Structure 1
Amino acid sequence: MDYSYPLRIDWTTNEIISVTAFYDVVEKGYEDGVERAEVIRAYREFKTIVPSKSEEKTLFKEFEQASGYSSYQIVKAAQEGEDGQLIKGKQR
């Protein structure tokens, strides 16, 4: 990984850990695939820290620009998927 996660300086250590865990889940979705339930859990935790849709979009965009991975596509696939499903992102 040769990029930095988009984080905010006003977040607590625990919030940074939770958001970082969400980004890690997105990466796993593109690299190896990730269980749907893991994506849903990580996204729910992310939303407790970033409840604003506009801030979510900003962070998703920053993360995609840095990593090439779309958080939106992974979350969307998980929300539309079924229990036990393996979520995999599609490289562009």
Structure 2
Amino acid sequence: MNYQYPIDETWTKEEIIDVVNFFSLIEKAYEKNVSRKDLLALYKRFKEIVPGKSEEKKLFQAFEEQSSYSSYHVVKKARETEKSIFKMKESSTHK
């Protein structure tokens, strides 16, 4: 990993850790199988920290520009799949 996770310096240490854990699981979804339940739980926590849709989009875009991983598509797949474990396909918006 040669990039940084997008964070806000006004967040608490705990919030930063939780957001980094969320983005780390997004990254993992492209590399290995991830738990749908875990991903949705981390996304729920992410939304507690980042409740605004525009700020969410800005952070998702910053992460995708750095990593080429789409947080939006991972969360969408987690919401839509009925499987308890899933993995993103490399071609799914991963550059």
TM-score bucket (shorter structure)? over 0.9
Which residue of the partner structure matches residue 53 of structure 1? 53
Judge which range, 31-40 or 14-23, deviates more. Answer: 31-40
1:74 aligns with 2:74: yes
TM-fit CA distance, 1:6:
0.6
TM-fit CA distance, 1:83:
4.5
Distance (whole Å) between structure 1 residues aligned to residue 88 and residue 64 of structure 2:
16
1:25 aligns with 2:25: yes
Which consecutive residues of structure 2, in runs of 5 or more, have no partner in the other structure?
Answer: none
How many pairs were matched up?
Answer: 92
Percent of residue pairs bearing the same amino acid type:
46
CA contact (8 A) 2:32 2:87 kept: no
CA contact (8 A) 1:64 1:70 kept: yes
Distance (whole Å) between structure 1 residues aligned to residue 37 and residue 12 of structure 2:
25
Which consecutive residues of structure 1, in runs of 5 or more, have no partner in the other structure?
Answer: none
SS for the counterpart of 1:4 is coil
For 1:82, give the aligned amino acid.
E
Give the superposed CA RMSD.
1.1
Cα distance, 1:71–1:25 mapped onto 2, change above 3 Å: same
TM-fit CA distance, 1:76:
0.2
CA contact (8 A) 1:36 1:85 kept: yes
TM-score by length of 2: 0.91
Distance (whole Å) between structure 2 residues aligned to residue 78 and residue 87 of structure 1:
9
Query: Once the two structures are superposed, what CA deviation does each residue of 1:8-47 show, in whole Å capped at 9, x if it has no partner?
Result: 1100000000000000110010111211111101100100
1:14 aligns with 2:14: yes
